[in-house]
Amino acid sequence: MTATTAESTAPAVRGGLPAMAALALGGFAIGTTEFATMGLLPQMAGTFDISIPTAGHSISFYALGVVVGAPLIASLGAKLPRKGLLLALTVALATGNALSALAPNAGLLMVARFVAGLPHGAYFGIAAVVATSLVPPERRGTAVARVMVGLTLANLLGVPVATAAGREIGWRAAYVAVAVIAVVTTLALARWLPHVPAARNAGVGAELRAFRRPQVWFALVTGMVGFGGMFAVYSYIAPLTTEVTGLPGGAVPWMLAVFGLGMTVGATLGGRLVDRSVMGTVFGALVSVTAVLALFGLTATNAVMAFGLVFLLGFVSQVLASALQIRLMDASPDAPSLASSSNHSALNIANGAGAWLGGLAITAGWGYTSTAWVGVALSLAGLAVAGVSVLVERSAKIL
C-alpha cells in the first residue's frame, strides 16, 4: 500500500538537503532534552532537596506530554499548513525547555517537563510526513531516516555533552542549551523549509478516522510491545555495565555513545531497507532485536561482546522505528500526520512498559541480565502482532 495524499506525495515540492537538515536539527533538540534528564537526576534532586526517584518523575511527566501531545496536536492542527505547524512546535519546544531551566521548585519543573514533551511526537510525526513530500515516493524510507538522524545524533553527541556540561555548570544549563537549539531550528525551518499544504479534506474527523483501520492499531501495538524489548535493557544499561560487565562507572557514557552510534548507522542504512520492503524490514528488525537481546543475556559479562551487542541493539532498534513510521503512514494514507505522530506515543508507552517490566524482574531477584530475557519475550510478542497484521491484511484483500 502506498500513501497517496497531498501530504505524502506533495506534487513537485522539493526542499533539498537544507530543509532535511533543519528537520533533523529539531530531532536533535528533542532527543537531547528527552535523554539528558536521565543523567542529571542527582543534580536536580540536590537542587530541590528531593530524592532521586522523585526527581525521576520529571521523566514520567515528559513521557506523558509526548503521549498526550502527539495525537492531540496532530488532529487539532490537521488543517494547518505543515510549515507553520512545525514552527509552532519548535517554539513550544523552546518554551518548555526554557521553563524547565527557570523552574523554582520541583512541582513547576514537572509541569515544565510536561510542556516540553507535548511537541515531541507531533514534531517527529509531521516532520516525517513533510520529509516524504520532499523526495520521490520510492525514497520515503530514506527521507524518514534522515529526519531521525537528528534523534540518533542526540544520543551520540548531544546527551553526553549536555550531561557533562550539566554536571559541571549546573543542570539548568542543559535545558538552556536545548532551548537555544530549538530557536535555531525555528529560524532554519523558516528559512529553508518550503510551503507544504495540509492534506486535502484534512480535519479532526478525517484524522481520527485513521483509528478505525485495524492496520493502524496493529502497527501501534507492534511498536508498544516489540520496542519495549529494547527499553527493558536500555533503561538499566548503567547497572548492566558496572554490575554485570564489571566495567567502571566511567564506561557508562561510552556504552551510551556506542548505542547512539548504532542508532545513527541504523538511521542511515535503515532507510534503504525500508525503501525496499516496509514489512520485510519490520519482521527482520524484530527478529534481529530478539537475537541481539538473547545474545546479550548470555554474554553480557564479556566487555567486548557487551559493547558490540549494544551497538547492534541501537542499530536494529532504529531500523525498526523507521519501518514502523512508514507502515503507519501507509496504513492511513488520508490521515498520515496523526498516524505518524501516534508512533511516538506508542514508543513512549514502550519505554515505560519495558522499564517497568525489566524492573519487576530485577526486584524479583533474577538479576540485571533478566532484563534481556524480558526484552526477548516482548520482542517475540511484537513479532507475533506483526505476523497477525499481515494475515489480517491478506484475508481482507481476498474477501
Q: What is the block-wise mean pLDDT of the chain (399 residues), using blocks of 10 residues?
A: 39 66 94 82 87 78 88 83 93 97 95 95 88 82 82 84 80 94 96 78 65 87 92 84 88 84 87 89 96 96 96 94 86 73 83 83 90 96 96 80
**pLDDT of 36:** 82
Helix axes of 16-48 and 106-133: crossing angle, nearest 10 degrees: 170
Name the residue ranges covered by the structural domains of the chain. Answer: 6-398
**pLDDT of 296:** 96
Pair 198, 7: CB distance under 8 Å: yes
**pLDDT of 200:** 63
Report the distance separating Cα 237 and Cα 249, nearest Å: 11
**pLDDT of 221:** 94
**pLDDT of 251:** 84
Report the distance separating Cα 326 and Cα 8, nearest Å: 11
**pLDDT of 203:** 59
**pLDDT of 10:** 39
Which CATH class for the 6-398 domain?
mainly alpha
Report the distance separating Cα 13 and Cα 328, nearest Å: 22
**pLDDT of 372:** 96
How many other CB atoms are there within 10 angstroms of residue 168's CB atom? 8
How many other CB atoms are there within 10 angstroms of residue 274's CB atom? 28
